[in-house]
A and B are shown apart, each in its own frame.
Chain A
Amino acid sequence: DTGVSQNPRHKITKRGQNVTFRCDPISEHNRLYWYRQTLGQGPEFLTYFQNEAQLEKSRLLSDRFSAERPKGSFSTLEIQRTEQGDSAMYLCASRRTDRGNTEAFFGQGTRLTVV
């Protein structure tokens, strides 16, 4: 396992459609994070998981967004009824927390364009 993998790398969708992204973290990492990033901004926290439990969801996240991490392995992020404002890079990161304060490893991201 060489790192965090995200699929697809790019997604173009029409407004109103649903989209789903997948993240495969580094296998021994218990924490998994989703971020959204727009041009010129830092990654904005969306949600994170400890194994299969979703610990926190950003208040900025509307009900159209949902994330799952069944069995504590891969995770999916779904956006329902997409809007043009959802266009962004969606980043996934993972880390392990049983060795103290270790760094987060990021995937290459999924770039979403809503037309």
Chain B
Amino acid sequence: SQKIEQNSEALNIQEGKTATLTCNYTNYSPAYLQWYRQDPGRGPVFLLLIRENEKEKRKERLKVTFDTTLKQSLFHITASQPADSATYLCAPDTGGFKTIFGAGTRLFVKA
């Protein structure tokens, strides 16, 4: 069955450092992959979408890579700030515009 894996342990980093979050998927080949941010008690908010023919996508301090051979996406936040503390969700496309999410990785950025 299709499976999405994200680091279940929280990631703690110091302000100003780069945070790197991992998303691995198995048993399917998504045409694109999305990353969302979720704050406690709120719905997820879309951040970036990367397609299978794109190796890398950037938006301000965010960078996403997509390796279809490794079946992995990496999500980077450079020059991290305490306001970046949140849960980050990975959502590889499952076909038919049905969005399925990983469990998410909690990021804590300390000042």
Q: Which residues of A contact B (CB under 8 A)?
A: 4, 31, 33, 35, 40-45, 48, 55-56, 91, 93, 95, 97, 101, 103-109, 111
Contacts and interface: CB of A to CB of B under 8 A. Distances in A.
B104 A107 contact: no
Interface in B28-44: 31-32, 34, 41-44
B99 A104 contact: yes
A108 B41 CA distance: 8
Given A48-B98, A101-B32, A41 B46 contact: no
Contact of B45 (A48, A56, A106): A106
A31 B99 CA distance: 11
Interface of B: 6, 31-32, 34, 41-46, 49, 51, 89, 93, 96-104
B98 A104 contact: no
Determine chain B's interface SS by DSSP, over half rule. loop
B43 A108 contact: yes
Contacts of B102: 42
A21 to B, nearest CB: 13
Which of B93, B99, B102 has the most C-beta atoms of chain A within 10 angstroms of its own C-beta? B99
Contacts of B34: 103
Given A41-B103, A42-B104, A101-B93, A56 B98 contact: yes
A95 B36 CA distance: 14
Contacts of A104: 44, 46, 99
A42 B99 contact: no
